Structures are given as C-alpha cells and as structure tokens.
Amino acid sequence: MKQKIQISIPKPCQEGWQNMTPVEKGRFCMSCQKTVLDFTHLSDNEIANIINKKENLCGRFTANQLDRNLIETKRTSNYFGYFATSVLAFLGFGTSNVVAQVKPIQEQTDYKYQYKPTDTIKEITVSGIVKDIDGRPLQGTSVIIKGTNKGVQSDELGKYNIKASIGDTLTFSYLEFETIEFQIIKDNYTFDVIMMPSSNEIHTIGIYIIKKRTFFGRTFQKIGNWFR
C-alpha cells in the first residue's frame, strides 16, 4: 500500500526568509548555500509529488501543513464520461437527420449576442505597492494567481506588476504576515496592499519526512541537511 507522508520540524531554520535571495520557486539561503522551496501555497498532492521526486530539499511551510498526514487524492478514471459523451454525440447526430427529413432547420440570427469561436479571455495588467502597517515597502512579497503556478514578487520598493484576467483571484503572501486575496473585477486595476502581522507562524526549515508503511511500520527518512 502507498506510504503516508508527514512533515515534522526537529529544528527550525534561524535564517530570515526576507534575508534570502529570491529565486524561481523559492529563495536561496547564503548561509548554507541551499535553495529553500516555498510550499505555503501548494496542495497536499503537489507537496507529496515534489517530496517523492527529490531526495534532498529544504522548504518553507505554514503551521497547518505540519505534523499531520498529507492527504493524497487520486484522479478517478473518466472512461465512462468519454463513453457517455460518444453515445450522446451519436444519438444527437441521428436525431438531427430525422428532423431534417421532416422540416429544414432554420438558422436563428436574432440573438443580441452570438458566441464566436475566436473570442478569447482578455488579459489585463494589475499593479500596485505592497507595504506593512507602518508604510514600509515589503520586498519579495509573493503575488500569485490562485489555482495556478503563475506569479511574481514585489521589488525593493514593494511594487508588483502581473498579467491576469478578469475573474482571477490574486493571493498576496509574506513571511509572518496574513495572506490577502482579492478578485479582479475590472480593467486597468491598481491595487495597493497593506499586509497585517500574522498570528499563524510560518516555518522555514530543512525538513524530516515521516513515511508510514502499513506492513513494515514507520520509516523516518531524512531529507536535506539541517541548517547550521
């Protein structure tokens, strides 16, 4: 049976996340010369996939991602859906032929709006400044389109600029601050953000993964070397 994965913290890292250099998918710690991956916005499935593929890693996690079994879900087979769709398509084709023999189908052209296959979702630019409650810019704030891997980080002045679509939700996160979300509802959006201190501690760590086996008991697998 499949192993259960649990993340534990024997020794949290002492290096500040904001002091690390921003890189793709996380930050680089100069003290121990390692890339620290940002897991705070990933699902249990996404975390488990990364852990199973990499032998040595360090990561940043929220408190509610720790000391519990990761919930891994399986995609259900969609063969029945494909089969049902094929049958319906076949039946629909047969019905159209029968109707056409009785009376020609008239094309309706009096709609106020007709869908065109060439219509596309308009992409817009959302920009603004991220600050703390004292008005200081927060460099390195993660700005991510919710449900995707697309995102940017704010610069040294706290400024960010991201391409998105109307209806998308942006997520703003920064170490030791509350996560903020807002939905884009119009064009030419400018959104300045004030981040509030968080009561939910986020940990940046070299991690232990606890894998539980059904028949062989618990196996502790160490991933990564701990920060010195």
Q: Count the neighbouring beta carbons within 10 Å of the beta carbon of residue 7.
A: 23
DSSP type of residue 118? T
pTM for the structure as a whole = 0.40
Give residue 129's domain range: 123-195
Q: How many domains does the chain have?
A: 2
**Does 218 share its domain with 169?**
no
pLDDT of residue 170: 92
The answer to whether residue 101 sits within a structural domain is no
The answer to whether residue 113 sits within a structural domain is no
Instruction: DSSP for 24-82, please give it.
Output: TTEEEETTTTEEEEE-TT--HHHHHHHHHH-SS-EEEEEGGGSSSB----PPPP-HHHH
Whether 40 has a pLDDT exceeding 60, the answer reads yes
pLDDT tens figures, 125-179? 899 999 998 999 999 999 999 999 899 999 999 999 999 988 899 999 998 888 9
**Does 65 share its domain with 129?**
no
pLDDT of residue 188: 63
Q: Which residues pair with 185 in a beta bridge?
A: none
Q: Which single residue is written with the structure tokens 């029968």?
A: 98
The answer to whether residue 81 sits within a structural domain is no
Measured CA to CA in angstroms, residue 172 lies from 6, 152, 221 at distances of: 26, 10, 33
**Does 149 share its domain with 207?**
no
Looking at residue 68, its amino acid is R
Closest CA to 192 of 126, 141, 129: 129
The answer to whether residue 108 sits within a structural domain is no
What CATH code is carried by the domain that includes residue 136? 2.60.40.1120
What mean pLDDT value characterizes the chain? 70
